[in-house]
Amino acid sequence: MNKTWSGCAAVLLLCCAGAVSAGAPPVGSMAPEFTLPDQHGESISLASKRGSWVVLYFYPKDATPGCTTEACEFRDNIFAFRKAGATVLGISVDDVDSHKSFSTEHSLPFPLLADSAKKVAASYGVLYRALGVMELARRETFIIDPEGRIARHYAKVDPKSHARELLADLAALQKQHQAM
C-alpha cells in the first residue's frame, strides 16, 4: 500500500471513529503517569519531566497528512518551545520502528513515544476505535505544568496552527503560574 493510500485510509478511518476510553482527565487534576519508549527505544517517563512544562500531544498515525503537518509544525517551532522551558512529547499507538522512520524522515527533534499497548491513550481519554477495527489516539493535546497537573486540554486541534496556539497559551499559563 503506498503512502498516499495509507494516509487516505487513515483519514477515512478517523472520520468513522467511535469512543473506546472514558473522558479526558479534567484540567487541574494530576496528569496520568506513564513510561514509554521513544523512537530510539529509550524509556521516557512523565515523572522525569517534573519541574518543567510539558506539551503532550496525541496523534492518530505516523506518516499521515495531518499528523505529518502537526509534527513538522512542532519541529519548526521547537526553539520557541525550548525557550519557553517546555518539553514537547508526541504519543501515538504506533510502534517504535514506525516512530523511528517517521522521526528520521521529517527530522523531528523531540521524542515520539510508542503507546503500542494503548494504555496511556486510554488513561488520557483519547483512545478511539475506527470502523470497529483499529484503535487510534485522537488528535488532542495537554499542557502539563511543572507540578504535574493538567493546565490546559485541547480537544479540537488544527494541525497547521496548533503549535503557535500552544506557544501563546503556554506564555499566558506561565505568567499565571508565576503569579501564584
86-122 pLDDT, tens digit per residue, is: 999 999 999 999 999 999 999 999 999 999 999 999 9
Residue 5 has pLDDT above 90, yes or no: no
- Distance, in Å, from the CA atom of 57 to the CA atom of 34, rounded to the nearest integer, reads 14
42-67 pLDDT, tens digit per residue, is: 999 999 999 999 999 999 999 999 99
19-48 pLDDT, tens digit per residue, is: 444 689 999 999 999 999 999 999 999 999
Which three-class secondary structure string do you get for 33-59?
CCEEECCCCCEEECHHHCCCEEEEEEC
Q: For position 3, what pLDDT does the model report?
A: 46
Catalytic residue among 15, 16, 67, 72: 67
Q: For position 57, what pLDDT does the model report?
A: 98
Of 43, 48, 25, 49, which Cα lies nearest the Cα of 114?
43
Q: 37 vs 16, 96, 115, 165, 170, CA distance in Å?
A: 29, 7, 8, 27, 26
Of 11, 119, 16, 21, which Cα lies nearest the Cα of 67?
11
67 is catalytic: yes
- Distance, in Å, from the CA atom of 141 to the CA atom of 126, rounded to the nearest integer, reads 10
Q: For position 132, what pLDDT does the model report?
A: 79
Residue 142 has pLDDT above 90, yes or no: yes
Q: For position 22, what pLDDT does the model report?
A: 64
Q: C-alpha grid cell for residue 30?
A: 494530576
Biggest distance spanned by C-alpha atoms of the chain: 53
Q: For position 93, what pLDDT does the model report?
A: 98
Of 55, 53, 60, 31, which Cα lies nearest the Cα of 163?
55
